[in-house]
Structure 1
Amino acid sequence: MTETHSAEKVEDIEIRLLLEALYITYHYDFRNYSMASIKRRLRQAREQLGFANFSALQERVMHEPEMLPRLLRYLTVQVSEMFRDPSYFCALREKVVPHLKTYPSLKVWIAGCSGGEELYSLVILFREEGLEERTIFYATDINQEALHAAERGIFALDRVRLFTENHRKSGGRSSLSDYYQAAYGRVSFDKSLRRNVVFSDHSLVTDAVFAEMHLISCRNVLIYFNRDLQDRAVGLFKDSLARKGFLGLGAKESLRFSQYAGSFDEFVREEKIYQKRGA
C-alpha cells in the first residue's frame, strides 16, 4: 500500500468517525450525504478552522459545543440568490399558479431554505399573483443560523442588482425595490413578507412529514445526498403533497432514478417541476 493511499484511507476513516460523532452527539446526520461533497467541505473546514486532521476537529466539536455552528457553516450549503434560475419562477407563475388559484387555502414548503432567498422570492411571487393572503409558507433548514438569517431578511446591497434582474426575468409584476429598504450597505425586506411564514428546524434525513402541502420547492439540496437519502427525501415529499400537488427541484436534479418516480408526472420538464399523480 502506497503512503498516499494509506493517508487517504486514514482520512476516510476519520471522516466517517466524525460524521458518526456528529449524529450521536448532536443528532445531525450527514452520514448518507454524497461522500465526495462531504469530503470536499470537511477539508475546507479543517483547513480554515486550523486543524491538522479530522480527529482533532472531532475532539473539539465533541467537547466544545460552540464549535458545532462553525462546522455546520461548511457542511450546510448556504449559496443562493433571489429568483435563482428565473425561468423556474416564470414557469411557476405561468403554469403552476393557475392551478393553485383553484384552492381556497394553500400550504407551501421551502425545504432547505438557506438564508431565505428562495422563500422571499416565492412570497413576492405569490403576492404579485394574489395568492399570498391564503397561503402559509413553511421555511425549513437544519442550520439554525441560516434560519435566523432567513427570518431577519437582510442581504448585502451589492447582491440586489442580480436579485432585481432575476425578478424581472421571472415575469415580476412590480419593482423589487417595493419590498425592501436600503441602508448602510444592506437591504432589509419588509416584515409583511414574513407574516404568513413559519420558520422551523427540519431535517430531510431524520424528520417526518408535518403537513399537507400544495407546493414543495426543494432546489439544489438533493444533489448533496446519496441515492438512498435522495429516495428518503422524495418519499417525504410524496407523502406530504396533496393530491395533484407540485414539487420543484433544482436544474441538476431529477426524479428519474427515484423509486417514487411513478408517483409523479413531469409537469414542466425543462424546469424540473413535477405534479403528484391522483389516486
Structure 2
Amino acid sequence: MGCNPLFITSLNSGSNGNCYYVGNEQEAVLIDAGISCRETEKRMLRLGLSMGKVKAIFISHEHGDHIRGLTVMAKKYRIPVYITPGTIGNSRLELPEELINSFSSHQIIAIGALQITCFPKIHDAAEPHSFMVSYKDTKVGVFTDLGAVCEQLTFHFKQCDAAFLETNYDEELLHNGNYPYYLKKRISDGFGHLSNKQALDLFITSRPLNLTHLLLSHLSKDNNNPALVETMFKEHAQNTMIIVASRDMETPVFTIGGASGSSAEIFPSADSAPQPQYS
C-alpha cells in the first residue's frame, strides 16, 4: 500500500438512487447524484463528511436513478458537473451553463490532486461511462450499470485498490420472478445490468493483488438477495473485504491505501456508525 489514502462510501446504491463518494483529505468527487440533495446532505453529515470538500460531480448516464438530485445539489453548492453532451442532451436537466463541463471517452480530468479517468461502458443509455478515481498510487473504480464485462472494464478493474462493482441480479431469481418478459430481457440482454455470476467471474479472473475492498453495488430489490451475493463473493474473497452497498442507506467510510494499509471506518464515534438494513 502507498501512503496516499482515498476515503470512499456508497451513499446509496440501487434502482432507487445511486451516489458514490471518493476523496482524499482535501477534496472529493461524487459519482452520480441519484438521491435528493437533502438526503445526500443527511447521509454525509452522519458520516462526518463535508459537502465543502466535494469539488465536482461526475455523471455516468442520464437515467433518473443517477441524476435525480443533481440540479438542486449543483445549484446549491455551485459544484461543477462533468457530463457528456449526449447524456445531458438525453436528460431533462436544467443546469446553469457555467456549471456544465463536457468530457469525452478516455479523458483524464484533474480535480485538485485527484485524477478521474472516464471510459465507455456497455449500457442502454446515450453515452454511458465508468470512472476510475486516482490519488497518486491509490485507485478506486466505480463500475455499475453494466450490460456486459468488456475489455475496458477488465483493464481498469485490474488496477483497483478498491471498487464499486455492480451485482444487480441473480439469474435464477430474475428468471423465476414476476417481471414481464420485456423487462427481464432488458436487464439481461447485454445492455442492461451485470448478474452476480458475471461480476464474480470478473472478480475471480481479474482481481488485482492490491484489491482490499469490493463494494457490491446496484443490487435489485426483487431479483437479488444481499446475503446470497455476499456469500458468493466471500467464498473467493481471500484478502479482499466484501461489502454489500445498501439501497436504503449509506455504507461506512472506508480508508483505501494509507501507510498502514488500514481499512478503518471513520466516524465521530463507533456508536454513530450506521448498520446496513435491507428491504
TM range (shorter): 0.3 to 0.5
Larger Rg: 1
- TM-score under structure 1 normalisation? 0.36
Relative to total residues, which structure has the larger helix share, 1 or 2? Answer: 1
Relative to total residues, which structure has the larger strand share, 1 or 2? Answer: 2
- TM-score under structure 2 normalisation? 0.36
